[in-house]
Structure 1
Amino acid sequence: MTRWIAALLAGALFGAGLALSRMTDPDIVLAFLDITGDFDPRLAFVLFGAVATTLIAFRPVLRRPGPLLAERFQLPLSHAIDVPLVTGALLFGVGWGLAGYCPGPALVGAAAGVDTAVIFVAAMIAGSLLQGATARRRPA
């Protein structure tokens, strides 16, 4: 139960940060990507805050013997830059640039009842199911 409460609080904090910074508004994200037009630098400050937090906290947290509410840290086992990784990153970037949403802000927007976010989340779930189905068909 403690893990569920911690996850709920972390998600609420993340969602509140996204809403406070207005990163749930796709127009702000798209304005950041529009470097030759109506450029809006706000997303750069959000990105800087995330990177700074990671730089400060990541190593000290990993020096702990384990996480507070789990048996072990779950870190990627592979450091390979392969075709699926690059393809996924390209699709993510194109989708983000076209829609102005990435998963976190889209979920916050959908929870708030924003129609474009609800459509995005539905498409995201469909894409996840499609990826899962195709991944099961590919040899490991």
Structure 2
Amino acid sequence: MRTRGAILLATVVTGLGLGFTVANIGFGDYAELNRMFTFQDPRMLLSFGGAVVIIACVFALLRIRRTPGRVHAGVIPGAVLFGTGWAISGGCPAIPVVQVAGGYLPALVTIAGVVVGIRLCRWSNGRYFHLDRGSCGL
């Protein structure tokens, strides 16, 4: 059985490795992300494609399968909002942390936007929509 300390250590090491990799391949650079989203430089898209291939292989090796069933009602609008926000701000929720660590302080605005967006989602869902939160824990 794994101890909490071992799991924490593995999580920290993995997170540091991911942060190092993300910063070094340019995912923390707004200009690089802009070139990706405007299809001026395919390098970042190829990085994404490589990541998808790697995780697909890992899932196959571990025999992880998606359970068949309905797609949650919030997946499509959530994906559209996520992609739009990423294209505008130059970062998904993790990238602004990398940007701030690299000295790009305007990323604090993106982090604040993520926090406000989460709060608005919780409030509007509780008051108006009452959507099943599924496994995302909103």
Q: TM-score range by the shorter chain?
A: 0.7 to 0.9
Return closer, same or farther for 1:15/1:55 CA change in 2, 3 Å cut-off: same
Aligned to 1:72: none
> What per-residue deviation string (whole Å, max 9, x for no partner) do you get for residues 76-109 of structure 1?
7784335422111111111111122112222211
Does the 8 Å CA contact 1:110/1:121 hold for their aligned counterparts?
no
Q: Distance in 1 between matches of 2:119 and 2:67?
A: 23
Larger RCO (CA under 8 A, 6+ residues apart): 1
Determine whether 1:34 maps to 2:24: no
Q: State percent identity of aligned pairs.
A: 24
Q: Please, what TM-score do these two structures have when normalized by structure 2? A: 0.78
Does the 8 Å CA contact 1:24/1:106 hold for their aligned counterparts?
yes
User: Secondary structure of 1:115's partner?
Assistant: coil
After superposition, the CA RMSD in angstroms is 2.3
Aligned to 1:50: 51
Segments of 5+ residues of structure 1 without an aligned counterpart are 64-74
Aligned to 1:61: 62
Aligned to 1:86: 76
- Which 10-residue stretch deviates more, 14-23 or 128-137? 128-137
**How far did residue 127 of structure 1 move?**
0.8
Segments of 5+ residues of structure 2 without an aligned counterpart are 133-138
Q: Distance in 2 between matches of 1:108 and 1:2?
A: 25
Q: Please, what TM-score do these two structures have when normalized by structure 1? A: 0.77
